[in-house]
Chain A
Amino acid sequence: GENVEQHPSTLSVQEGDSAVIKCTYSDSASNYFPWYKQELGKRPQLIIDIRSNVGEKKDQRIAVTLNKTAKHFSLHITETQPEDSAVYFCAASAPGGKLIFGQGTELSVKP
């Protein structure tokens, strides 16, 4: 079945450094890849997404890259700030539009 693997499970960086989270997916038919940020006790919040016809997308300090051949996609956060601390989830679309989520990465940005 469809599967999404996400690494690392935890990531600690100093304020101002960059953070990179990587995901791989199994279903070659997946064509939509969103990233969500979830703070403790809150809803998952869509922060950026990419479709399969694009290799890279950037929005201020956040960028996502996609390698369809290798079935990899990554989230890059530059100039990290303490308020970036949260759990980040990648996801890949599956038939019918449902999302298959990775296991999450707990990002901690130390001031």
Chain B
Amino acid sequence: DGGITQSPKYLFRKEGQNVTLSCEQNLNHDAMYWYRQDPGQGLRLIYYSQIVNDFQKGDIAEGYSVSREKKESFPLTVTSAQKNPTAFYLCASSIIGTENTEAFFGQGTRLTVV
């Protein structure tokens, strides 16, 4: 099946720890994105990448880091510098072009600080 896979579905983090959320896609998409969703709020862009080994900060990048070593993978690390990391994290991917430009989303990872 083609698609975008996030893991784990649920993640618990102790204060002061870094954690990494996985996002893998086999859609051959160039662009990948990380969004954060808080209860009752929309999606806010954390980071995005349009090509391997390159990525840009979104609206709320502080306290997060990413890498794009492979086209298929775009892991997100939530660092101890992120003061309020409890949220639902969504990864997405899309092609870059003028047609078929919708983004495809993974099923999300719910991160809870304990």
B and A form one assembly: no
